[in-house]
Amino acid sequence: MLITVTEENIRLDKYLANNTEYSRSTIMKMLDSDYILVNGKKEKPSYKVKENDNIEITDGFKEETNIVPVKMNIDIVYEDNDIIIINKPSGLVVHPGSGNYDNTLVNGLMHYTNNLSDINGEERPGIVHRIDKDTSGLLLVAKNNKSHAILTEYFKNHENIKREYIALICGNFPHDSATIDAPIGRDPKDRKRMAVTADNSKEAITYMKVLKKYKDYTLVSCVLKTGRTHQIRVHMNYIGYPIYNDPVYNTKAATSFGQFLHSYKMDFIHPITKKEMHFEAPLPPEFQEFIDSLDKDQL
């Protein structure tokens, strides 16, 4: 991977953490092992990047890990020799990180099968994309490197794959549909959050359609053209209709279930057979029961 720097005076490790899928700790190890070079030379994590610096990242870095297989009930919607489609419950982290190395989907996948791609390293076997811990629904997993590489291109080029989410937003949205085109980057006031910002951001486009209106809520469908971190959650908050029960982007108190956001539908071209694939996952019981209660309130 070759990255041309477009900013100035930012620590190398911080810049890469903001612009790659690698964690800051992994980046530091890669720098120490010469897997990352700046203008052909080894640099320290504290090196301040300059505009037009060329950062070369060599594939194949293997990080020592204590990740162990853990038996868990995984809701597998579909499986063949190349891919697995999973219906992830709310509350389950996709891959290890931030001190959680035992209770993630990856731990469960490692117990379930030895056939997972290793393109993303030992901490993310099979993981082509992810959804937030408290977002439920469909997730695509690669069982070999060939399918992983093709699926990665799908996501990168925004082609041959379409994902549709269902969200319950707070307030009565006044239109039938909307296109939200607002760039997303790290929140300059809180690095743990994302925000619509012009600084160090990337294009983010969400297509929204109203499914049903309630007294104080609106059920909507969201289709992603891009796939930025927390994209739907950030965009809904940005337009003034945050997702119900979102503990980060909604100012109201939230329960442990987290945001009412569900990866409902996925259509894509199979990476190997090239067949058209279509999957849907029902809303989680908590989500369904809550909107059912809203229906009763309106009777």
Catalytic positions: 132
Helices 24-32, 12-19: inter-axial angle, 10-degree rounding: 120
The residue assigned the tokens 């006044």 is 174
Q: Measured between alpha carbons, how far is 205 from 222 in angstroms, rounded to an integer?
A: 10
Q: Which residues neighbour 164 within 8 Å (Cβ) at sequence distance 6 or greater?
A: 221, 222, 223, 263, 264, 265, 266
- Alpha carbons 29 and 282: distance in angstroms, whole number: 41
State the amino acid at position 243 in one-letter form: I
C-alpha 51: how far from chain center: 28
| DSSP result, 31-66 | HHTTSEEETTB---TTPBP-TT-EEEE-S-------
